Amino acid sequence: MNETKTNFNWYPGHMTKAKRQMQEDIKLIDLVVELVDARLPQSSRNPDIDELGKNKFRLILMNKNDLADPKATEGWTRYFEEKGYAVVCLDARSKNYMNQIHNVIMDVCKEKIERDRKRGIKNRPVRAMVVGIPNVGKSTFINSFAGKAVAKTGNKPGVTKGKQWIRLNKNVELLDTPGILWPKFEDQTVGLRLALVGSINDDILNIDELAMELIRYLKANYPGALAARYDIEEENEDAQVLLAIAKQRNCIKNGGELDYAKAAILVLDEFRSGKLGRISLEMA
């Protein structure tokens, strides 16, 4: 992806507090369950998690798998497994994956369960901490896993506040934590990718610029996706492509002028909802 003019550096105070809280909470748990966005598994990870979670069992859940490029997801699964993580690809809105995840947790933590058994401790549940950056689907996953709405969900970054233990069944307890975003975007491309999938609040971004970055990326990496969706020539300059989409989709202001902003929002929304196809923003 090309360098973007928008400068991303977003680390609210409540996230600093959340990191301190996690340093305390990590002592209480056996397993770190980390949600990432399958479309950008590296950029949607918090780099502090590896340091915080060392010496703990690890499970990575690649959420929004239904929106990601299957080939890219295969590559990322191999990448994380080679690093010693257990990996499950899923759509957190669906309960279909929950038995599989439960079995993986039991398998990952079998050493701990065996140690407890030898010490005469029976039926102590595996304690897992669920972590992930804002808007990656943590609350949705917890609700699906627990089978009821126990965690507040929302599609605005930063909806989850505070912490709570959630008893899933006799085998597993989850500690929910607020999401932590990157403390600093040293590589601006990371900020751009997170913005494209909606992990940074759109209100603080230049949406036209963001849509142009997406158009540029799609033309280079998924040629034909824009042409197929909008019935346009995508070989033109990026601004001309956005103009053509505005025309095709009737994005027009009151005076009859084309509405670039409306077209930009349309393209971003259709990318985020998978209407442009299964697209990943980074490859392993």
Binding site as annotated, residues: 63-66, 135-140, 179
For residue 57, give the 3-state DSSP assignment: strand
Find where tokens 């996953």 sit.
141
Strand 126-131 versus strand 86-89 pairing type: unpaired
CB atoms closer than 10 angstroms to residue 153: 16
In the annotated binding site for GTP, the residues are 63-66, 135-140, 179
The angle subtended at Cα 67 by Cα 63 and Cα 71, nearest 5°, is 90
**N- to C-terminal Cα separation, the chain:** 15
Q: 3-state SS of the chain: helix, strand, coil percent to 5?
A: 45, 10, 45
Of 163, 139, 141, whose CA–CA distance to 151 is shortest?
139
Rg (CA), the chain: 21
> Residue 172 forms beta bridges with which residues?
126
